[in-house]
Each structure stands twice: as C-alpha cells, then as structure tokens.
Amino acid sequence: MTPITTCELAEARRLDALYKLHLLDTPPSEAFDRITRMAANLFQLPIAAVSLTDADRQWFKSRVGVEHTSIPRLRAPCGQVADDSGLLVIPDLMADDYYRDSPLAASGIRYYAGAPLITADGHCLGAMCVLGTTPRQTTPQEISALCDLAGMVMAQIELQHALGRVDAVSGLPNRHQFSEDFDDLQRDAAGGEQGLAVLVNLATPEQLAHAARAMQSSYLDELVTDAARWLRETLGPGRRIYHVATAQFMLLSPPGATLKSWLPLVEARMQAALAIARGRHVVTPSAGVVPFEIGRADSLAVLRQAQSAAHDAIDSPTHVAVYSQVEDALYQRRFRLLNDFVAALESGDQLRLVYQPRVDVASGRVVGAEALLRWTHPQLGAIGPAEFIPIIERSGLAQATTARVLEMALRQQRAWRADGILLQMSVNVSAANLAEPGFADAVSAALARHQLPADCLELEITESAIMAQPLKAHATLAQIAALGVGLAIDDFGTGYSSLAYLQTMPADVVKIDQSFIRQLDGDARQQALVTAMITLSQDLGHRVVAEGVETEAALDFLRRAGCEEAQGYLFSAPLEAAACAGRAAGMSGAGARPH
Ligand code: C2E
Ligand code: MG
Ligand code: MG
C-alpha cells in the first residue's frame, strides 16, 4: 500500500467537511440564489454560481445563466480555488496557458473570477464565482464585493447547518450532531480504548403522554430546559450534552473513565435528579449506560442500546442500568415476533392448530380436544405459544388471534363431526376478548357459519384473565353461557382469585393447572391441596379437569379423588388433527404412550 501524501490527506479532510454539511445534490434554495443574482448584477455578467468542489465534479448549489447542475472538476477554475483556498481571477481564458484548452473555454467562456468558500475550520468547499463571455478586467472594489458575497454564502451554509443541529427548546446539540461527533471520535481513535455513553431519560413514555394530554406544551418545554440547565451545571463547562429525543439527553464519559470508576458517580447524580424530580415534576428520570470500544462502535447502535438500558433502569433501585446484551436480545426478539406475527395472521401457512385429547377418567374415553396454536416462523422456525402468546396478549393482536383460532377450530370440528367423531372442542381465549364488545355475538356467528351446535364448543379462560377486569369478564361470560357454549376456567390455582369469587362465574369446568398435578407423586401436602381443589370446585357445581397428567400414579390419585377428566402426556401430547381423531376413535384411555 502506498502511503497517503499530505496533499491527499488534506483533500480527504476537505471532502469530509463538505460531505458533513449535507449540501451536495440538495434542491436549489432562494437564500443562495439571492446571493448568486447579486453577484451577476454587481459584475454585470450573465453567469454566476455557488460552486462546490466534489471529488471529481463542480456541483452548483445555486446558479444563474448555467444550464448544467455540475461540470467535471478537471481544469475547472473553481477546482483550483478549492485546491489553493485562494481568490482566482482569469481576465481571459484564451490568454491563459492552462485554461486555454479547458472545456470551459471551449464552451465560449473568456472571463472568470472566483472567491473561495472557506469554513470556520479552514476547509475550502469551492467558490462563489462569476463568468463572462468576453475578456474583462476586475476592479479592487469588485474583488472585495465578491469576497463579501462568498462570506455571505458561508454564513448561510453554517447557519443552515447549525439550525439542523441544535434543539430549539434546550439549545443543546441534537441527535444528528451526536452522531457526527461520535463518528469523529471513532475516526481519531487508536483502538482498544473503552468509552461510556450515558443516556438520561427524563420520564417514561406514559408520563410524557399524560403530560402532553393534561398540561400545556410549556410544561414539557420547562421540564426539558430545567433538565438541560441542571445537566450543564452538574457536568461543568467543556462537556458536551446532546438532546437526542424529546426528553432524552446523551453524554459521553471523560477520557479514561471506566464502568467501575464512573458508574457510582452516575448513580449519585441520578439520586440528586430523582430528588429534584420528586419535588418539581411528575416524572421518573432514569439513565442507561453503554460501554463501547472507541473506534469500533456505531453511534446509532450505541444510542439505541442506551435507550434500551434507560428503559430497563426505570425498574432498578438506582434508576441506572448498564446495557445488557442478553436483555436487549430478548427485547429485540419479542419485538420481532410481535411484528412478524402480523404477517403470520395474514399468511395461510404459518399458523396451525394441534389438538390435545381430553380423557374421561372413569371410562378412559377421549371426550374432548383442546386446540393449541402453533406458529412456524419463516426464518426462526417453530415458536412455542408459551413464548408468543404472552407477547400477543400485551398487544392489540389478541382479538384477531382468537378470531383466527376459533375459525380454524370450528372448521376442524365441522370436519370431525362429518366423519362421525364427536368431541367437544376447547379453544383458549385471551383477557382482551372478555373486554371486547360483541365477542359473544362473534362466537355465535362463527358457530352459525359452520352450522355447529353451541355445546360442541368450550372456551377456556385463565383465572388471571378473568381477574384482570372482573366486571366486564362476568358480563361477557354470562352472554357466552347464554348461547350454550361451555366455559372452563383454565390454569386454576395460579392466579390470586378466590374460589368463592369464581363461583359467581358461569363456568362449567375448572381446569387445575399442571403445576399442581405434576408435583402430585408422593407429596402429601400437594395431594391434600389438589383434593381440596377438586371437592370445592365440585361442591360449587363445576366439573374438574386435571391438566398435565404425566404418570399412572397421578392418574390413580385423581381417579380416587373423584376428578372427572384429565389431559396430559400420559394420554397424549397435542396431535395433528388426523392423529387426534385416530386417538379418539381407537384409544382406550390411560397407558397410551405420549407423542
Ligand atoms: P394451556 O391452555 O394451559 O395449555 C396446556 C399446555 O400444557 C399446552 O402447552 C400443552 O401442550 C401443555 N401440556 C399438556 N399436557 C402436558 C403434560 O402432561 N406435561 C407438560 N409439561 N405440559 C403439558 P402449549 O401448547 O405450549 O401452550 C401453552 C399455553 O399457551 C397454553 O396453556 C395457553 O395458555 C396458550 N395457548 C396455546 N394456544 C393458544 C391459543 O390458541 N389462544 C390463546 N389465547 N392461548 C393459547
Ligand atoms: Mg388451555
Ligand atoms: Mg392450562
């Protein structure tokens, strides 16, 4: 590799300064055109331009009397202005040895005057230039006017640039500036050194939403300006604080700081911030800390990681959290699953149901089947409902999911009945369904669509779903019961409800959660608990189903305790529809090997 020359390095830096301004290939702007017109008028010349020197072209941000938006840099006088960072006047191109053969001269141009456009850092971006078709002399006044106009162009460029980089409320550099400064830090790094980024989050998204609803916008502005002032005072002069989102500030650790030395400081400052917040605003500040390797980190990734840590910090005792890759990966996976589930609902082949037989304990006959949802993600493969159902239930997708499951289950039920297989079909529904107006009507309509009697369907509702909104749940369940559809309380024993309360629910069946049944073997206390659950449920008029029956011993115990039905790997794991029908037709109850 040939070493880079000083000249090449200067040019690379000059180009970098130009690119950072994000000016190239932007649309024309009146602010620049005004100056260009003034230049043409002052010189009484037909052509004037604000010409920026890119790697191999002169690009015109503003132009008068030129058709092209750019020309090649080679042998363009503006290119020379950029190279020399100095004024260039060519009274007659045809009399100039170098420019005589230039494309510009070939196009009929004879006169050129260009003043350099120099940034505050001393980089020359190009030229403010005027051109004429006849040779001409230049007065000292004209030269000084051209230099003034170049100064005006630079003032305009720097003003525009600053406006896009400073937050109007806090007066602090914004997210774009953070990215840029962070990238600069990377560029000059020797490598291997660790840096720390801290994101200070003033309030939770909910608090911001409440404030926006309840208070005037000046409340948030005041919160932000107060916080910005506090941060500035706390950190002292010379430290840059970035205002990266409505209520978020970002800062970088001083050189040499380590997590060990710096974290206690951040935590102490956070305690002070919390004390102020308690007294002045209804907000909960938190901070996320991200260690990164200087020279190898990406500004946007660090920002996102810091935001993620600051969010986790809300639940930590110190309100400060260090970014954890594991937590983040989990969050990203959850986010991805939720996003992708929308496509799964629309697709024909990602979602399917499997059916787990439910067995009458006394006769050993299969009397029902629970429909359980399965998702094959196109890239991630099989995802278990224990992972995706809780994510979906926290989103707005629960209703659409139940609708889809109900539709698939009833279609299967119709097919089984046509084949003479009579099983009650159990479908799990979510808490959101219980609060959904018209849910009972939708169930009734689905049954009618498939020409099925109401009693061939049972809906399973978990105890905690009922307890989430007891009044609404009660009303919906009463409507469903009135249709003649069966109701089961699922995962019984895991919530915080009382049996006395559940007794007021119009449920036919109580399904004792598998966590109680799987621990039955030889555990006298567990056995006493399950016996009590069975007797109480029956006394209150419910039929009892034991979930998660895996052993003969558990089944024997349940039989003696008078439990009516059982479900579990002892009989069968969840099966594809055809296998479940086969099991229902041929299975004689306990003893069949799990799938
Ligand atoms: P659940 O309704 O309590 O379903 C019983 C779960 O226990 C099923 O897990 C089943 O495969 C598993 N299981 C059955 N027998 C045994 C056993 O003997 N031992 C053990 N260890 N496990 C057994 P699955 O299919 O992974 O479903 C998990 C949960 O996801 C379900 O618990 C239910 O709450 C939810 N879910 C599944 N499908 C749907 C659906 O279509 N809609 C809704 N809202 N939730 C669903
Ligand atoms: Mg269930
Ligand atoms: Mg259950």
Per residue in 290-327, pLDDT tens?
A: 999 988 899 999 999 999 999 999 999 999 999 998 88
Q: Where are the beta strands (DSSP E) in 65-201?
A: 70-72, 88-90, 111-118, 124-132, 194-201
Per residue in 510-523, pLDDT tens?
A: 999 999 998 888 78
Paired residues of 45 in beta bridges: none
Number of other residues whose CB lies within 10 A of the CB of residue 191? 9
Distances (CA, A) of 44 to 36, 110, 113, 271, 299: 12, 15, 13, 67, 49
Cα-to-centroid distance, 548 and ligand 3 (Å): 8
Is residue 451 classed exposed, middle or buried when 0-12, 13-18 and 19+ CB atoms within 10 A define those classes?
exposed
Angle between helical axes of 217-235 and 205-214 (0-180°, round to 10): 130
Distance between CA atoms of residues 156 and 21, nearest Å: 12
Distance between CA atoms of residues 541 and 71, nearest Å: 89
| Residues 539-563: b if buried by 16+ CB within 10 A, e if exposed | eeebbbbbbbbbeeebbebbeebeb
Show the tokens assigned to 119. 């940034």
- The amino acid that residue 594 corresponds to is P
Show the tokens assigned to 176. 């774009």
Same domain, 122 and 251: no
Supply the pLDDT for residue 592: 41
The residue from 160, 187, 219 where one domain ends is 160
Same domain, 243 and 141: no
Same domain, 76 and 186: no
Same domain, 232 and 124: no
Nearest CA to ligand 1 atom 17: 548
Q: Is 527 in the pocket of ligand 1 (CB under 6 A)?
A: no
Nearest CA to ligand 1 atom 14: 568
Show the tokens assigned to 373. 């949802």
Does residue 45 form part of some domain? yes
Supply the pLDDT for residue 589: 41
How many separate domains does the chain show?
3
Domain that holds residue 430: 334-586
Same domain, 123 and 63: yes
Does residue 166 form part of some domain? no
Domain CATH code at residue 261: 3.30.70.270
Does residue 419 form part of some domain? yes
Q: What is the per-residue DSSP string for 234-286? A: HH-TT--EEEEETTEEEEEPPTT--HHHHHHHHHHHHHHHHHHHHHH-S---E
Domain CATH code at residue 419: 3.20.20.450
The residue from 107, 135, 160 where one domain ends is 160
Same domain, 229 and 248: yes
Does residue 210 form part of some domain? yes
Give the up-direction half-sphere exposure of residue 23: CA atoms within 13 A in the CB hemisphere. Answer: 29
Residues of the chain with pLDDT under 70: 1-3, 188, 496-502, 587-595
Distance between CA atoms of residues 47 and 113, nearest Å: 11
Same domain, 187 and 286: yes
Q: Which residue of 428, 491, 565, 570 sits with most ligand 1 atoms within 8 Å of its CB, as the best mutation to test the pocket?
A: 428
Identify the CA nearest to 281 among candidates 228, 224, 243, 242: 224
Which DSSP symbol is given to 111? E
Q: Is 405 in the pocket of ligand 1 (CB under 6 A)?
A: yes
Q: Is 574 in the pocket of ligand 1 (CB under 6 A)?
A: yes
Does residue 467 form part of some domain? yes
Ligand nearest to the CA of 372: 1
Q: Is 384 in the pocket of ligand 1 (CB under 6 A)?
A: yes
Same domain, 255 and 108: no
Cα-to-centroid distance, 190 and ligand 3 (Å): 57
Show the tokens assigned to 34. 């005004």
Cα-to-centroid distance, 488 and ligand 3 (Å): 10
The residue from 288, 323, 358 where one domain ends is 323
Per the document, the length of the chain is 595
Same domain, 379 and 508: yes
Q: Which atom of ligand 1 is nearest to the CA of 353?
A: 41
Cα-to-centroid distance, 23 and ligand 1 (Å): 58
Same domain, 155 and 279: no
Domain CATH code at residue 138: 3.30.450.40
Supply the pLDDT for residue 595: 38
Does residue 1 form part of some domain? no
Distance between CA atoms of residues 429 and 423, nearest Å: 19
Distances (CA, A) of 97 to 93, 105, 109, 221, 540: 8, 11, 15, 62, 108
CA torsion sign for 461, 467, 468, 472 is: positive
Show the tokens assigned to 200. 């200070």
Cα-to-centroid distance, 568 and ligand 1 (Å): 10
Supply the pLDDT for residue 4: 74
Supply the pLDDT for residue 594: 38
Distances (CA, A) of 352 to 315, 357, 377, 595: 37, 17, 11, 18
Ligand nearest to the CA of 401: 1
Does residue 169 form part of some domain? no
Supply the pLDDT for residue 254: 87
Cα-to-centroid distance, 525 and ligand 1 (Å): 25
Does residue 593 form part of some domain? no
Same domain, 539 and 565: yes
Same domain, 210 and 102: no
